[in-house]
Each structure stands twice: as C-alpha cells, then as structure tokens.
Structure 1
Amino acid sequence: MQPSISIITIGVDDLERAFAFYRTLFDISDDQIGAGEDHIAFFFDDGFSFVLFPREQIAQTAGKPVAIAGTPGFVLSHQAASPADVDDILRRVLVAGGAIITEGTQSEWGYSAYFEDSEGNVWELMAKPPAH
C-alpha cells in the first residue's frame, strides 16, 4: 500500500464546540464545509478532508464498547483506487499482523473497510463510488 491519506477524522466530545473552534481556525468558506447528523467535514484542496466525529462513535467504529482510555482519538483514511484494492490491502493487513475491524462494505460514500495496525491504531480504507 502506498499511503494516500485523504481524510483525518478526530474524535470530539462536543461536536458544536469543536466545529466553532475549527471553523474559526481554518477560516474557510461555507461551501468547503459539509455537515451530517453525526459529523462535520472540512474540505480542502487536493481531495483532503478533516472530519469531526463524536468520540463515542469512533469507539464503536474501532470495535470498542465505549470510549475509554486507549480508545483511538482519530482515524486515518487511505483512498484506494478500487474496491478490489481495499480487499487486497485487508489481506495484507492480516499478513502483516494487523486485525480487520470491518470487512469491505458498500455504502453511499463508496466501498470501505476498517483495520487496526499492530499497535491498535485505526485506519479506514475507502474507494469512492464510480462517477455516473
């Protein structure tokens, strides 16, 4: 895998407070911000995104029952070229000593999977859906 980190997602305790902080810090236009019910994303040049996500939900994504000490506070996301590449990387994760958190699944955002490296750090693999 040639790392191509396109999204950094950090866990926050107060989504509105974190949004206010980063909105001021980043000083970007409203059309570069996307918000969902459970997250806020800041979109930058070259396809890079910075996402705020509730810490409890990051714990769930990482397969942890609650956000306790040691629960990852961030997720690194690698943009793969295709769903097949996502699946290939997952096979290599196992060979390298990592663990699969969730197998590749299709959603409105594309094909994605989550894995844990040998030290418990969480990665998301994603392949965007084909353009129509």
Structure 2
Amino acid sequence: MKPSISIITIGVDDLERAFAFYRALFDIADEQIGAGEDHVAFFFPNDFSFVLFPREQIAQTAGKDVAISGTPGFVLSHQAASPAEVDDILRRVLVAGGAIVTEATQSEWGYSAYFEDSEGNVWELMAQPPAN
C-alpha cells in the first residue's frame, strides 16, 4: 500500500457547531460542501475531502466503546483503486499485525473497510463506486 490520504474524517461532539466553525474557517464555495444526517464533507481540489462525523459514531465504526480512553477522534482514509485492492490491503494488514475492525462491504459510498494498525490507530480503506 502506498499511502494516499485523500480524506480526513474528524470526530466532533456537536456537528452543527463544528460545521459553523469550519464553514467560517475554510474559503470554500457552497457547491463544494456535502451534508447528510450524520456528516458534513468539504470537497477540495486534488480529490481531498475533510469530513466532520459524530465522535460517538467514529467510536462505533472503530469498534470502540465511547467511554474507553483512546477512542479515536479521527480516521485516516486511503483511496484504493478497486475493491480487489481493498481486499488485498486487508490481507496485508493481518500479516503485518494489524486487525480488521469492520469487514469490507459495499454501500452507496463505495466498497470500504476499517482496520487498526498495531497501535490502535484506525484507517478506512475505500474504493469508490464506478461512475455511471
């Protein structure tokens, strides 16, 4: 895996407050912002995204209890070229001593999985769905 961090997702306690803060901070057009019930994404040039996500949901995604210290406040994301590459990286994670947090699944956002490195840092692997 050649790391290519294209998405940074940070955990927030108050999505609306965090959105207001980053909206004021970033010099970005409204068309470059996407939002759902549980997230806000800022889309920048060169395929880089900065996403706000509820901290509790990041903990659940990472297989952690919110009350446990060390619950991640961020997720590193690697954009894989294909679902096959996601699966290959997951195999390599296990061989290297990491752990799979969530198995790879297909969703409207693409084919993705989460793993922990040997220190408990959480990574997302994602292959975006093919364009229509």
User: Shorter-chain TM-score: what band?
Assistant: over 0.9
- TM alignment of 1:1-132, pairs within 5 A: 1-132=1-132
Contact 1:55 1:67 in 2 (8 A): no
| More deviation, 60-69/36-45 | 60-69
Aligned length: 132
Q: Percent identity?
A: 89
Q: Distance in 1 between matches of 2:126 and 2:39?
A: 17
> What's the Cα RMSD here?
0.8
What one-letter code is carried by the residue in structure 1 that aligns with 2:124? E
- 1:31 to partner: Cα distance: 0.3
Contact 1:56 1:67 in 2 (8 A): no
Q: Distance in 2 between matches of 1:4 and 1:67?
A: 31
Q: Residue 46 of structure 1 aligns to a residue in which SS?
A: coil
Q: In structure 2, list runs of 5 or more residues that go unmatched.
A: none
Contact 2:65 2:71 in 1 (8 A): no
Stretches of 4+ aligned residues off by more than 6 angstroms = none
Q: Distance in 1 between matches of 2:27 and 2:85?
A: 35
TM-score normalised by length of structure 2: 0.97
What one-letter code is carried by the residue in structure 2 that aligns with 1:96? A
What one-letter code is carried by the residue in structure 2 that aligns with 1:32? Q
What one-letter code is carried by the residue in structure 2 that aligns with 1:123? W
